[in-house]
Amino acid sequence: MPVGPLILASASPRRRELLAQLGVECICKPADIDETPYADESPDAYVRRMALEKASAARRRHPGKAQWVLAADTTVVADGAVLGKPRDREDALRMLALLSGRAHIVMTAVCLRGAREESTVLVKTRVQFIPLTRHQCEAYLESGEAWDKAGAYGIQGLAGAFVAGIDGSYSNVVGLPLSETWQLLRDQGIPTALSPKASPEAFDE
């Protein structure tokens, strides 16, 4: 059965661009769900649940047998606290102050859902920030980059200057871990530029 166009359950231009890097064309259909964490819900469980609920909501709107939905949720975790998108300027400044001069974890859950199949992966990256002054944080907020990003920063933009180093997937911090996403697509027979026929065989040495 031919594979229908991939539905990306997100309005994120960054995720769409990352899929394009893999040679995957998609249709963006954001899923409108309640993103409030449950009481005592761990960050791992939260991002997994968000990705699954986004994929499920989009799949209900596009129930075709050959239709696949990809959904992802990214969050920043510092001191065990989930840092989502900032509500306002003071919230953004609070987040940047919390990240200043220390390491934090960026985690993304990716869910690929079809008519009967469902696959989910969770990827974590450790990011180290340099110490920041309030003036530097305020200057960054003037760029307008912070408002639609977890943790109030985007590593691919001006805030890349704040990053002393990372341990793990860079694309995960941007919003979609490329290696793991490609493997999910490949394993379900969804063509990409690297696997036009989705062959899962390992390279013969």
Please name which of 160, 163, 85, 96 lies closest in space to residue 134, comparing C-alpha atoms.
96
Q: Write out pLDDT tens, residues 53-96.
A: 999 999 888 777 668 999 999 999 998 889 999 999 999 999 99
Give the chain's length: 205
Q: Is 73 noted as a catalytic residue in this protein?
A: yes
Query: b/e map of 159-168 (b: 16 or more CB within 10 Å)?
Result: beebeeebeb
Q: Write out pLDDT tens, residues 116-167.
A: 889 999 999 999 999 999 999 999 999 999 998 999 999 999 999 999 999 9
Three-state secondary structure call for residue 46? helix
Please name which of 72, 40, 68, 37 lies closest in space to residue 54, comparing C-alpha atoms.
72
32, 34, 73, 79: the active-site residue: 73
The whole-model pTM stands at 0.88
**Distance of alpha carbon 68 from alpha carbon 114, whole angstroms:** 5
Q: What are phi and psi of 140, to 5 degrees?
A: -65, -40
